[in-house]
Amino acid sequence: MHDQCTPFPPFHGRDRLIAAVDHAVQHDDPKQIAETLRAALREAIADSRIQLPACCHRPISDHYARRELYRSPAHGYSIIAMSWAPGQGTPLHDHSGLWCVEGVWLGQLEVTRYRLLEREGDRFRFQQEATLIGDCGSAGSLIPPHEYHTLRNASDTQMAISVHVYQGEMTHSAIFEPEANGWYERRLKEMATDAA
């Protein structure tokens, strides 16, 4: 992965998307922010005046791509577009305590949530919960402490694109590597972005 490219890639409807996110983050309560942002992302995905930059339609063969579209100097949030080649996905991970709203811009994403049962140092035990399929136009949210999940392109033949609005710049994340009996070992991963 490469360092974040500056300036952010231009795209049609960029100002419309930013205005909608700016409006949503005016609330104080993370649940209200998430609810308003989910609606805003669903509207943005359906709005033909908003078209993601061409780089978002180019997956990367050896990992899902993360491209930063915008970071708000006033509100601190960041908008990341992720491009998923067929079958690409994430390990079990968290969002470092940041809320996040995710919208499926193209294709389908499989989202599996996990519930933390117990922790012993850097070992965590999880229980897998529901697996959902997010279709194009859908949006969901993760609010700590309920932030443990995996994402995967649900298709073995078609790419997928998702847009994620994070409370702040997510520079690192904890990923959890499976051991035995529902236990995982935690390690920190730096979250780089790919060139546009």
Domain region containing 85: 14-190
Helix H, strand E, coil C: the string for 29-60 is CHHHHHHHHHHHHHHHHHCCCCCCCHHHHCCE
- Is residue 1 included in any domain, yes or no? no
Report if residue 9 sits inside a domain: no
Judge whether 195 lies within some domain. Answer: no
C-alpha dist (Å) from residue 59 to 13, 21, 87, 101, 156: 22, 25, 12, 21, 14
Instruction: Band the pLDDT of 180: cuts 50, 70, 90.
Output: confident
Q: Dump pLDDT digits (tens) for 2-25.
A: 334 446 888 999 999 999 999 999
Q: What are the contacts of 115-122 at 24+ separation with CB within 8 A?
A: 115/146, 115/148, 116/145, 116/148, 117/182, 122/185, 122/186, 122/187
Closest CA to 40 of 100, 103, 92: 103
pTM value is: 0.92
Does some domain include residue 105? yes
Decide if 59 is inside a domain. yes
- Give the count of domains, the chain: 1
- Cβ–Cβ < 8 Å for 102, 167: no
139 falls within a domain: yes
User: pLDDT digits over 138-154, tens only?
Assistant: 999 999 999 999 999 99
* Residue 76 resides in a domain: yes
- Tens of pLDDT, residue by residue over 104-132, are 999 999 999 999 999 999 999 999 998 99
**Domain with 124 in it: what CATH number?**
2.60.120.10
3-state secondary structure (DSSP) of residue 13:
coil
Within-domain flag for 6: no
Question: Is the separation of the CB atoms in 30 and 143 below 8 Å?
Answer: yes
- DSSP for 76-118, please give it: --EEEEEEE-TT-B--EE--TT--EEEEEEESEEEEEEEEEEE
For residue 156, give Cα distances in angstroms to 162, 171, 189, 195: 16, 29, 26, 25
Give 55-86 pLDDT, tens digit per residue: 999 999 999 999 999 999 999 999 999 999 99
